[in-house]
Copies of this chain bind each other. A is one copy, B any other.
């Protein structure tokens, strides 16, 4: 691979040959791909480039799908809440759902698969008390209790692929077919999928890489009757169900699941809920099945001498790259969208593949690439690159790429130039660090009910989308993504068995009752004692939001004694709270100018003892505190939205929690806009901003040097043990 070429994937399209050549040359691209809505003609496929072809496994075959409509994918849905005024109630359960997407399943006996639930009792109503009127899509319930709320859990066919539906509606398409997703668990579909893939491989010799988009089951996404999003859960297994699947589950696991196991009060097993055993079993069951199926396809691809790449998203349910069976599939690569450091790590940390590829922003779509938007385009590209680059320095992607219509991007020469520069910078970085492990100063374990399965995905609802309820926690992961620490995602279950040797600091973050905070795990004395002991013996514990929250024994925060704070629920208002004065200065906030911006506030956090170091207080709430606990320490933060300031606050919190403040300033830049990465033979000093920065740099011996960095510069140096010789 010659210098300044390679590692870059370019989208192309018909009738764009010369421009494609030009772009390939300027960006050093060595692969071409199609996109949703674009195809590559033969001339393009003959260029000196790897050819990626997007491949849909479970949709885009309506002739087949219509012939086997009972093999359409399915989902359990809950009706709206309906109030019984008298002793009979009709529930038009489809109200609010989009009939273009969903169609009730009357083929399988509703009395077996559906449920009516009295939500005021939260009890299932006996099947003898209700009937389905399939003509009107109504359930009629008898003997209802007046002024109780009722819902219907019903089984529905999915007759429109959610991603195609999204693109279709968003782009206001009119004349295309609405693609019906079919289910790999059904006999005709399974055979059809394999046959179709074989045909494709036979008839597309120029395709080098099959880009599966993705496999079998879509994350949960429903629209409402106004064609607007109604429900989205990037992790949801809801759209993978069927009577056949549940019967197989019963055989495999020895018990039967009901609609409510999926509906779960309308929470639909959100990742924010503590997972039930039934849901965990179902995930295991489906992952195993889906991995088997995917393996067969990947084997087939390999038998044609081609590579199998998976897109991270869309129909990715069951093939989550951090899942237990992913390694059995044998994929060559995963490609995914990069929104910043956290989503980059989500891709670049994926194990068991030969390479990973990040699709950077902006996507070449008309909503961004329109006349006069030059500055915004450049800014989006620059912001995306510079925020992701931090993470790249820790865990490199092997490739980058773009998506959409290159003909649009080509009209913006400054953008084309910028990407040319970025591609060179990317190649330069990767060439240096692809095969080496960066030095880390600590290993941080992030706790949740999900553990490694949801690595870099804690607190997410939908991929990279902002929610008021999550940004205060997401910032932890975004900060960590570019920090010179190792990050591991640990489940409560594995922690209970013993905290791994290499962990220096545990982070427990999230709202009370969620799977991230832990809820009932904190009711388990053995679990609590394991962590207390571990901290006491010289480790760090960082709690964010409502960590260790389970009201018991006089505390909400079960590790109040480690964190130094608790939350007042009203029950101990009679007990005087003496400790209110913040310390005048503290190691954790030494680089913080002004207030600590903790995001969403959590009311009534107070210090429990004089040993608590109250660091920041706002509106009488402690928002930042620390405490010694044996030879270890606890740190409490109300929240940590992503910012340079907060990244430093977290960084310092980690060293403080470890009781190793004195180790921080080895290979360290004082300026919060700069970061240092140390490799076996080199050192990189990053400027993470678009402005010039001056910083003090400390080498490994603690010697200080003043260094100036140009906007977004990476300064590379040669490392000789603890010292650095900077390149010029």
Contact = CB atoms under 8 A, between A and B. Distances in A.
Interface string A147-167: 111010000000000000000
A267 interface: yes
B470 A270 contact: no
Interface stretch (A208-216, A227-235, A401-409, A413-421): A227-235
A30 interface: no
Interface in A439-487: 461-462, 467-470
B468 A604 contact: yes
Given A117-B553, A119-B552, A468-B604, 15 more contacts: A85-B536, A120-B528, A122-B552, A145-B529, A147-B529, A147-B536, A232-B576, A266-B575, A268-B574, A272-B570, A272-B573, A461-B573, A469-B573, A470-B573, A600-B603
Contact of A230 (B83, B267, B525, B576): B576
Contacts of A470: 573
Interface of A: 81, 83, 85, 117-122, 145-149, 151, 220, 224, 228-233, 236, 265-268, 270, 272-273, 461-462, 467-470, 510-511, 513-514, 525, 528-530, 532-533, 536, 551-555, 558, 561, 568-576, 578, 600-604, 620, 630
A561 B536 CA distance: 48
B601 A461 contact: no
Nearest to A119: B553
A525 B148 contact: yes
A240 to B, nearest CB: 16
Given A272-B571, A469-B573, A553 B265 contact: yes
Nearest to A553: B119
A659 B42 CA distance: 72
A226 to B, nearest CB: 9
Contacts of A149: 553, 561
A653 to B, nearest CB: 23
A273 to B, nearest CB: 5
- The interface centre, meaning the residue of A119, A151, A555, A571 with most chain B CB atoms within 10 A of its CB, is A571
Given A468-B604, A561-B81, A574-B231, A554 B121 contact: no
Main secondary structure of the interface of A (DSSP, over half): loop
Contact of A525 (B121, B228, B461, B558): B121
Contact of A553 (B122, B224, B229, B270): B122
- The interface centre, meaning the residue of A85, A533, A553, A601 with most chain B CB atoms within 10 A of its CB, is A553
Given A513-B569, A553-B122, A270 B574 contact: yes
23 contacts: A83-B532, A118-B525, A119-B552, A119-B553, A120-B553, A120-B558, A147-B530, A147-B532, A147-B533, A148-B528, A148-B529, A224-B576, A228-B576, A231-B574, A232-B574, A265-B554, A270-B574, A272-B570, A467-B573, A468-B604, A468-B620, A469-B573, A510-B570
A241 to B, nearest CB: 17
Contacts of A229: 576
Contacts of A572: 266-267, 270
A272 B569 CA distance: 9
A222 B141 CA distance: 58
Contact of A273 (B145, B513, B571): B571
A122 B265 CA distance: 30
A224 to B, nearest CB: 8
Contacts of A268: 574
B533 A575 contact: no
Contacts of A620: 468
Nearest to A573: B461
A504 B148 CA distance: 22
Contacts of A265: 552-554, 571
Nearest to A517: B570
Contacts of A85: 536, 630
B119 A574 contact: no
A691 to B, nearest CB: 30
Contacts of A600: 603
